[in-house]
Amino acid sequence: MLDATRRLEGFCRATLGLDGPVPLHAPRFAGREWDYVKDCLDTGWVSSVGAYVDRFEAMVAEAAGTRFAVATVNGTAALHAALHALGVGPGDAVVCPTLTFVATCNAVAYTGATPLLVDIDPATLAIDPARLRALLAGWSGAPVKAVVPVHIFGHPADMDALNAVAAEFGIPVIEDSTEALGSRYRGRRCGSLGLMGTFSFNGNKILTAGGGGMVTTDDESLARRLKHLTTTARAPHAWAFDHDEVGFNYRLPNLNAALGCAQMERLGEFAAAKRRLAALYADLFADCPGCRLFRPPAFADGIHWLNAVLFDDPADRDRFLAETNAAGLQTRPCWTLMHLTGAHGAAPRMAGLSAAEAVAARLVNIPSSPWMVPE
């Protein structure tokens, strides 16, 4: 058995006292979730209209440090709506990292545009600003209409450098912050660092609404357009149904928003618990032979959505995955790189994606639920 396996198993079983299967990331409901969801049931406001939707939007806007937030049915819909609101469509390209969950590139494809894949900086796991500049400087294909940096595992990308490159080429930036609610970059909140930010509230995220997503922005006109697009583009009227363009039925049900509001009330607790867990993992793997815990640069105060271990030898990575899962500890490799998937393997890309390939061959995510550690 690898020393890394012994350490993780001992930490989860003996130190934390966790019996049975230990999930990678699971929700915990210990606040007012029951009260708020029951209120929806008691009042009959269960669908896409209700006070909890407005409240959830206001709470996420405050947490992201933006003036506006627009709720959607999931994080993929949030990113699709954001791209559509910018006018991204067929014949366009959108820069995405090859190391990301497939939803990032899928949202681009939904618009009819093409993902343009770029390599990562191993220090952040996000888009490398220098590689982005080289890609854009040499690109002669479809017009690039947006750059979508992803805050991988909740660790902020180097947004100042990325924004500077994007501004040099006149390209707007949309943050894929789906894993980074509560993360900060140089003291500024993720979701407020580009023209728009997007969030996810899936069951495995930092907090959950049972689903749900959000677009954040400081641009009032964009916020109004997003609200219109995501509510089937229905023209305002007391009773008539007229739709002035093709919109999307991306409305978030009040039931989900109620759950999200209760979870948002505990965001500070979740963030503190996740940072405690990350600190414990840093000590656990500090001198572990053949591997190290991923630690972001000093400018990143991340939420540590998923902690990650990087192995020196890919064979040890594979062995660790087998041993930990056999022991009931859910670990997983990072997602298949986009240029290696059947969905986006034909997408255009920069020459060489070696940094992402090296990381993907050696990385394992380890259990990271905030409830694992006591206060």
Active site residues: 205
Residue 307, beta-bridge partner list: 366
Q: How far apart are CA 230 and CA 49, in angstroms?
A: 13
Q: How far apart are CA 345 and CA 115, in angstroms?
A: 10
The two beta strands, 174-176 and 196-200, are parallel
Q: How far apart are CA 25 and CA 371, in angstroms?
A: 9
Q: Give the distance between the most distant pair of CA atoms in the chain.
A: 68
Q: How far apart are CA 277 and CA 243, in angstroms?
A: 49
- From 69, 295, 308, 70, select the one nearest 189 (Cα to Cα): 69
Between vectors from CA 189 to CA 267 and to CA 371, what angle results, nearest 5°? 25
Q: Give just the sign of the alpha carbon dihedral 193, 139, 296, 213.
A: positive
Q: How far apart are CA 188 and CA 185, in angstroms?
A: 5
Phi, then psi, of 300 in degrees rounded to 5? -105, 120
CB 363 within 8 Å of CB 310: yes
Q: Please, which contacts does 30-38 make with residues 24 or more away whose CB atoms are closer than 8 Å?
A: 30/266, 31/262, 31/263, 31/265, 31/266, 32/262, 32/265, 33/258, 33/259, 33/262, 33/263, 35/262, 36/258, 36/259, 36/261, 36/262, 37/255, 37/258, 37/259, 37/262
Between vectors from CA 178 to CA 92 and to CA 284, what angle results, nearest 5°? 130
